[in-house]
């Protein structure tokens, strides 16, 4: 599904080389709900961005569905990103002038598909995330939790191979966060592969597998269900 082989990412900082990610090898299987934990600066978001093709490793390789993300053209990479990866962010990143349904349909609208064709799927996804009554609302008319639901529906409209979530509830209260995690969990139980970055153990605990990063390297890899002690 997603595979990283010895992926590293380094920056030059004041003449010194700094590793954001150091020699990470990782295989994410279809249907997994992987939580990536670690303190800030541990390389979590860099790792997520490599998986989604938003960033390239300085050495090593990344594959999505066995397709390498290196040695391909920018156009090909854009297409893979748009078609195989769904992204949700801490600050939702919705367009304020568009309705919920238009926001959800955006990835397809950008490819030139007319809204009339996109609308039924956008509305059914909004229904699925519990916002069937909110399709015509604009972001400012929605609560934080509702905005994140719209963002989740938008991430799902291309039937992505993987849903990548970067601190998806960093901006929400405990109760609303729990509803978002329950939604992600139920999507995962229906087969959606999810990778979530979080510093919050309560969030990470929803995963079927939890990895921990420390100074850019993999430090723990806990697969759940194996150890019932």
Partner 1 sequence: MSIKYAILGILAEGDLHGYELKSNFDERVGEFWSLNYGQIYSTLDRLEKEELVTHDRQAQDKRPDRKIFSITPQGRDELTKWLSTPVTKVRALRDEFFVKLVFMDKTTPGPLLELIEKQKVLYLKHMNRLTHRKVALKKEADSLDALTTELLMDAGLFHAEADIEWLALCELKIKAAIDPKE
**Which residues contact partner 1 by CB under 8 A?**
37, 39, 182, 185, 200-202, 204-207, 210, 220, 222, 224, 227-228
Nearer to partner 1, 39 or 114 (CB): 39
Nearer to partner 1, 114 or 201 (CB): 201
Structure letter (DSSP) for residue 214: E
**Shortest Cβ 153–partner 1 spacing (Å):** 21
**Shortest Cβ 179–partner 1 spacing (Å):** 11
Longest CA pairwise span in the chain (Å) = 55
Q: In what order do the strands lie in the sheet with 217-223?
A: 85-88, 162-166, 193-197, 33-37, 209-214, 217-223
Report the alpha-carbon distance of residue 140 to residue 145 in Å, rounded: 12
**Shortest Cβ 93–partner 1 spacing (Å):** 27
Nearer to partner 1, 92 or 206 (CB): 206
Nearer to partner 1, 134 or 209 (CB): 209
**Shortest Cβ 225–partner 1 spacing (Å):** 8
Nearer to partner 1, 34 or 100 (CB): 34
3-state SS class at 126: helix
Phi, psi of 206 (to 5 degrees): -75, -15
Report the alpha-carbon distance of residue 171 to residue 26 in Å, rounded: 29
Report the alpha-carbon distance of residue 88 to residue 71 in Å, rounded: 27
**Shortest Cβ 211–partner 1 spacing (Å):** 11
């Amino acid at each position: 599904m997603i595979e990283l082989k010895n992926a590293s990412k380094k920056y030059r900082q004041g003449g010194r080389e700094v590793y954001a990610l150091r020699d990470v090898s990782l295989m994410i299987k279809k249907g997994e709900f992987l939580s990536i934990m670690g303190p800030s600066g541990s390389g979590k978001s860099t790792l997520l961005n490599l998986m989604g093709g938003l960033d390239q490793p300085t050495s090593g390789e990344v594959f999505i569905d066995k397709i390498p993300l290196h040695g391909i053209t920018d156009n090909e990479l854009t297409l893979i990103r748009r078609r195989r990866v769904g992204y949700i962010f801490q600050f939702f990143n919705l367009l304020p002038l568009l309705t919920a349904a238009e926001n959800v349909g955006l990835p397809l609208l950008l490819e030139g598909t007319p809204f009339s064709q996109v609308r039924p799927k956008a509305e059914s996804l909004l229904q699925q995330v519990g916002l069937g009554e909110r399709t015509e609302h604009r972001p400012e008319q929605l609560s934080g939790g509702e905005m994140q639901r719209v963002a989740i529906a938008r991430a799902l409209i291309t039937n992505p191979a993987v849903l990548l979530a970067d601190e998806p509830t960093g901006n929400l209260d405990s109760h609303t966060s729990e509803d978002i995690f329950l939604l992600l969990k139920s999507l995962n139980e229906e087969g959606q592969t999810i990778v979530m970055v979080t510093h919050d153990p309560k969030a990470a605990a929803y995963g079927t597998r939890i990895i921990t990063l420390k100074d850019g390297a993999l430090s723990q890899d806990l697969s759940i269900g194996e150890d019932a002690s």
